């Protein structure tokens, strides 16, 4: 819990900084582990239920382990019309997981969102906060390979 304690110290052990604290913790673990949330609850004297309500309210937080790479497919109207369902289907096939799942090697987590606000780039896929616009089914394999190469 040394890393967690450092995060709490950097944020002055202030309850008002809980969102930043949770963000920093997720950056380390790639999700919010239950035991860490319990620890924070005790250290900040903040009810665990309040921490969970924040962690579940914001889509950026995950209570389940995520893969090293987060792949997000926009399913908003513009993306949907321009082929996002087919792109998602190819990603599910290529990664071997459905939306919301994580690959068995913990390298990729696949999820969808309702809108990324980048309609001009539709359909759009975001990998680790890097936007890939006008993604087609034919571009999916190359995109995934780019991030697989990062592992070697």
Say what the pTM is: 0.78
CA–CA distance, 47 with 17 (Å, rounded to integer):
15
For the segment 65-99, what is each residue's pLDDT rounded down to a tens digit? 999 999 999 999 999 999 999 999 999 999 999 99
> What's the average model confidence in pLDDT over 97-124?
94
Q: How many helices (H) and strands (E) does the chain have?
A: 7, 4
CA–CA distance, 94 with 121 (Å, rounded to integer):
22
Q: What is the set of domains in the chain, with CATH numbers?
A: 2-57 (no CATH), 69-149 (3.40.30.10)
């Amino acid at each position: 819990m040394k890393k967690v304690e450092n995060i709490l110290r950097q944020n002055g052990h202030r309850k008002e900084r809980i969102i930043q604290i949770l963000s920093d913790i997720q950056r380390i673990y790639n999700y919010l582990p239950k035991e860490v949330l319990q620890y924070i609850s005790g250290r900040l004297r903040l009810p665990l239920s309040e921490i969970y309500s924040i962690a579940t309210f914001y889509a950026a937080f995950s209570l389940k382990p995520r893969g090293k790479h987060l792949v997000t497919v926009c399913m908003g109207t513009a993306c949907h019309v321009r082929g996002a369902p087919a792109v998602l289907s190819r990603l599910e096939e290529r990664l071997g997981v459905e939306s919301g799942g994580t690959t068995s090697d913990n390298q990729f987590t696949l999820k969808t969102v309702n809108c990324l606000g980048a309609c001009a780039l539709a359909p759009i896929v975001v990998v680790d906060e890097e936007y890939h616009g006008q993604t087609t089914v034919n571009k999916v394999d190359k995109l995934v390979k780019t991030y697989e190469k990062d592992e070697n």
